[in-house]
Chain A
Amino acid sequence: MRLALVLAMTLLFAPRPVAAQPQPSPAEVARGRYIFGATGGCGCHTVPKQAANAGGRRYDGPFGTVYSTNITPDRQTGIGGWTDEQIVTAIRLGRRPNGERLVPVHPFTVFNGMAAEDLKALVAFLRTVTPVNRANQPKRITVPLFESVFLPAWLAAFAPRETPPAAAPTAGTARGEYLVRAVGHCGECHTPRTMTQATDNSRFLAGNAKGPEDSEVPNITPDPQTGLTWSEDEIAEYLATGNKPDGDVAGGLMGEVIEGTLAGYRDLTKADRIAIARYLKSIPAVRNKIGK
């Protein structure tokens, strides 16, 4: 009787192994790599010329300084010990497994618009990247009560949140919109921000005179005077090669996302690049001159 009780208690309280997750198919990993490229190669998580996805890149904001995190599958310092669901939650809801909220330098309000199947594939791909043991650097928040009060209030009051589609659109302008708005997160740099630092989506993609790293980010609405007047083919060519119609070549952060890390915009299919171009041609033109 006593033995049976001990056995029952042992079975009840024994540490449960994490349920083995089914191995993703090569097709799913390939799809994940494609989505990874369509985000620009998650380049924020890579210090240029260093190990992919190992984090450590510095970002300064009005709230302080944050460093991108290690998203390699290293169990000790990366996301190797996280479940698929925990990774997806961090990507689209901005929550760590311990409940800690991510600072929205990681654009989770936009990535929330990614389709579940694409997120699943993305996670499958992230698990195939070479693990790198590199400890995350702690953030330095200089604004009192930022994470406990201001950030939640800001997210609730000001941050626009994309809505995930039931399934990823596969063609046409809808596909372009999905790639631009959610996956490619183009608005994060190309949309001007309000005084609260939220993107001003009433002027979606109208350019940002004070973009990331103090750069002037161009207006890519189809406004004939101040926006993007390239043809669909020229836009598609630019996303693949970085070549502009006037012979100039992309640089800065745009150069980075085209080149990507393990993949980038340049790996998008021509059909997807044309879909992006068509969508950019279809959005409202906004007159907003960037630069002198």
Chain B
Amino acid sequence: MLPAESASPKAPIVHIQGLRKSYGANEVLKGIDLQVQPGEVIAIIGKSGSGKSTLLRCINGLEVFQSGSLTVDSKPLLHDNPAAMRELRQHVGMIFQSFNLFPHLTVGKNVMLAPTLVKKKDAAAAAAQARQLLERVGLAEKFDAYADQLSGGQQQRVAIARALAMEPAVLLCDEITSALDPELVGEVLRVVESLAEEGMTLLMVTHEMSFARKVSDRVIFMHQGRVHEIGPPGELFGNPQTPELRQFLSSLHD
């Protein structure tokens, strides 16, 4: 199931233990334990409000959690230590539902910004890297374009290139095709699939069940702030163990 070169299962790249998160009195994550191996592709599914996006956003510190521990590449997540957060975020890329490209910068500058600032890459090296990454997502000719001149699918592919420019060990995808017109979903998913094939560790919250089934190594079904069911896609989709998952899956076919 894992790529051959990946480390032994003893060294997870993402290690989450007893993670609890609440907004005021409302607890949205009620103790999450999860270990992700390098190169593993994980799809997180569940109803809205089940905590799946919140879990993803905890992994790069966009959300602060109240208890539990989380390490990426054995670096602990420490919210009130800016240096540690900066270090951790260089290992975790994130792609958002709403793309969030920087509208005042060209596509090329969007990709170059973080490597030049954070990794202190010189402009020429950063530009060369940006061109190569844009080529990889099929947008080499858009280097000098602005985000508002691109379609949603193109914007999302730029966002992927921008995240990859930091050479992350883990990539978080938060419903990255949900804001796209149906005919643009495919081009984005193909890029994600190629990343999976190349051994990138991926955690994705998705509503694209057939894609999750095809690409992921494990599927997590979240329900009411807990990991309700977890396993290989064939098992989860083919033989759901809990009534909640059965109900969720049948609701998708309506």
Whether both chains belong to one complex is answered with no
Could you list which residues of chain A lie within 8 angstroms of chain B, going by C-beta atoms?
Answer: none
